[in-house]
Amino acid sequence: MNELNDKIKCYRSVFISDIHLGTWVSQAEKALDFLKNTECEYLFVVGDLIDIWELKKEFYWPQEHNNLIRHLLKKARTTKITFIPGNHDEFFRQFNGYKFGGITIRNHSSHKLLDGKKFIIVHGDEFEAVVRFNKWFAMAGDAAYTVILRINKIYNILRKNFGYKYWSLSGFIKQKLKDAVDYISDYEKLAVVKARLSNADGIICGHIHKPNLKRYDKIIYCNTGDWVDSCSVLVETNEGKLKILFDSSEETIEIS
């Protein structure tokens, strides 16, 4: 049975990002179901929890999005929660170091695994030059990605009605287009450089909606993925082992 759906799972740490509340492509119900059925000592929300970019264009906030925020605030009573704002909710970066409802806001954070390995935690938009130096172009690219996700959602509703499993159009494009593959590779390498310069053993980020867990020489690169497409989450088990879990399949990504 899928590890995400077993009741109840306990982890030492959970890293989740890119839920994009405020958009109709957000799979907030699945994210909420995971959080409700998960217990952990540390929870890191690694950016783009709320999509302020899209909310400015068109206000969309169904009850399930409200329910997820309420659950996080409730969970903060017993769990150490750190929120690292992303580029879509960068508004919260001005509150670096503040605590709201038991949730600490940090523009960058860090975490030590059970074995003492140090990881830096960032959303990751700093590695994408187009976001840093041309926000308008980035928003145009984001709009195109949103269109793909909307097509993907409608397509998968039809697939489900005919008894077929979920299929990711955006994931297919990412795998097949050379430019996208090169972009992801370059992004990962920049993240690894950041970890080396920080004298860390690894880095945890989100932003590009491409879950991954791999070694670059001695540096461990972790990307949490997202909850608009892959529905993935990075966890540290109680034994100190890192793995990525997926909602839609038995698949996991692990590293020794």
pLDDT of residue 12: 97
C-alpha distance from residue 90 to each of 142, 161, 231 (Å)? 15, 38, 22
218 domain-assigned: yes
Q: What is the pTM of this model?
A: 0.80
Please indicate, yes or no, if residue 150 is contained in any of the structural domains. Answer: yes
Task: Report which of residues 154 and 135 the model is more confident about.
Answer: 154
Tally of domains within the chain: 1
> Is 2 a domain residue?
no
Domain annotation covers residue 1:
no
Domain of residue 36 covers 9-254
CATH of residue 180 = 3.60.21.10
Residue 237 within a domain: yes
Residue 124 is assigned to a structural domain of this protein: yes
By C-alpha distance, which of 242, 190, 241, 243 is closest to 216? 190
Please check whether residue 236 lies inside any domain of the structure: yes
List pLDDT tens digits, range 170-222: 666 666 544 555 667 788 888 998 999 999 999 999 999 999 999 999 999 99
Tokens 């909310």 belong to: 55
Mean pLDDT for the stretch of residues 81-98: 97
**pLDDT tens digits for 153-168?**
777 777 777 777 776 7
Residue 165 lies in a domain: yes
